[in-house]
Structure 1
Amino acid sequence: MTTDASNSGGGTRRTDVLVIGAGQVGLAAANELKKAGIDYLLVDAAAAVGDSWRQRYETLTLFTPRSISSLPGLPLSGEPDGYATKDEFAAYLVRYAAVGGHRVDVGTRVVALRGEPRAFEAVSRDGRVYAASAVIVATGAFSEPRVPSLSHRFPDTVQQMHVADFQDAGSVAEGPVLVVGDGASGRDVALAIATSHQVFLARGRGRKLFPERILGRNTWWWLQRLGLLGAKPDSIIGRRMRRIDPFPNRGNDDATLVRKGVVLKPRLVSADGCHAIFADKSREAPQAVVWATGYRDDFAWIKIEGAVDAEGQLMHQEGISPVPGLYFVGRPWQRNRASALIAGAGDDAKYVVRRLCRWIEASK
């Protein structure tokens, strides 16, 4: 059951475990808590379950095929080797929450988490207070859009937006468009805009794209079958995968981009008035810039000593905080390569909830 936050009642809401974030990892954690018979409540900043997917750009599809993109207990219907659209997956999350009977207070952005073992307190932006014996932070990875400081060098006449705010080609001004960042999102956006605009794509480090299919099988099937999705972050394979960070070639390789009219440029290094300046000294004058430059973490709202280090990064070992009763799911390489993928949400949630249950038993 999904609970509208506006109807959640006054005073302090109490639960055994508070799950902050009701995306795929939060719902996976809720599923494990329910199976363990532990009282829990989810809160989410979005207005509805699935909004974090629903509000992204129109051409977005899942990174992984449907065959490995389900959460425990409810298959994602459709062609197994196909890729669910963002709206399809958003609807799946709504269905998952409903089928599981998971209580969710939506429209609830937590702005402060304080406490000590067995006495956590979370405060929402509108002043609601939640008390819990344990907390699972499931807000996902890199929630804050990252835009380079050189963006300030462009004048106000040049439209700028982060890929998080991009919807479709109609979102950008007429005239040449510069997309900065050639990861999967940057390439998707460049292709979407190229149908109606002149597009320049500023690239960074060399990108490794792997083929979508090998020997007739989806490459993700091979990665799972060979155990590569389970590669640990500090293993030889894991370190190599983290360094290369490859993604699938689904019609977004350099040759296809060029064929579709996208002009490939080297790294963007500066801006001079309306002109973008690239590493090879070339210049272009875009009317709009789309920053596909990734995201950053922002955990300033976690105000618990020992939970966050001096650089603002979460302190944890495979999702287990040094602060008793505090846990995390959905962190990149939390336990293995699959941790930041939907494919790894269930296993990581199971591991974290199992450890949480042990802590509860030991605390009795």
Structure 2
Amino acid sequence: MTGTASRPLAVEGLRKGFADRDTTVMAVDDVSFELKEGELYTLLGPSGCGKTSTLRSVAGLERPDGGRVVIDGAVVADPAAGTFVPPNKRGIGMVFQSYGIWPHMTVFDNAAFPLQVARTKTSKREMAERVGSALAAVQLDRFAGRMATQLSGGQQQRLALARALVRRPKLLLLDEPLSNLDAKLRQAMRAELSALQRQLGITTLYVTHDQDEALSMSSRIAVMSAGRIVQEGAPRDIYQRPATRFVADFVGTTNFLAGTVARAGGDGTRIGTAVGELVGPGGHGANPGDEVLLAVRPEAVRLHLSEPGPAANVITGEVEQVMFVGERVDCHVRVGDDVWVTRQEAHLAAATGDRAWLELPAESLSLIPGRD
């Protein structure tokens, strides 16, 4: 990895294991990534995938077994060289899953706490300015004199963020900061936190298992599984062009269909499947005879209740279940031994037992090498 001095964060070959009886389980296994200035980079994955262990290694709350962590050009962790900089000297701010708000303190004192306990003393005037600025950034300045326990859940989350910002960190680390909020407030806070991060331009490493959170807030996403990064990219690429079955299955809902490449070219790829030959996009580097997995998102499937005119990639089935969910209708359609999940406009008047034609636009098919 090159150019680490110009990056707010560079993680290189990070490894971290934990003892489990007579063996060592690798929670983080050769993980590498870099953050660009001002971006929000998300580690996304299920519980136990290594995302939080990676974040804690960056923060200095875990000592890695191998690799390096470089923050703003300075090496803060390198086991091979015996380097380990403690968390309070890494120039970071961190917000945990549990906000850790002091109930006996006011909003102001909670936000000021990192400055009050810092080795370098801050004058009362500068402290007032910095705390006031941090509270204003999260829209809590008018509550400065209120006891922290009088704040709502969303306000306490913002207070924890203000406390992290008051030190003016080079890097902000967020560990599942919205998971303790109810669904509606979590959705509102996503937009609020994302807007604040862009406004402040602060480089942020974010950890979550929530796919919607990652897709809506991130500049880039690294999907993790079993201690490794299995795909990295922009949210749209991760969702629309998953590289593995795990990524396609974990990030959103996906229909899968196994096939074998019959012909490959720049104008399209023909794939033989159990429901007939389908046409997918070209440029995947697939060769005739290769086994592939077609991944199709529910919203990409066009459901017709009467046979459409001539069109490629039309398969037939029977509507098995219809669920009206307000802004859309989720139709489950049986195709042979499989049930396809489709997402249609709310006005679609489908009923259980209806014959259905599923149109699969070539440009919305993803080709995943292999069948696993």
TM-score w.r.t. the length of structure 1 is 0.26
Please identify which structure carries the higher strand content: 2
Say which structure, 1 or 2, has more relative contact order (CA 8 Å, 6+ apart).
1
Task: Return the index of the structure with the highest Cα Rg.
Answer: 2
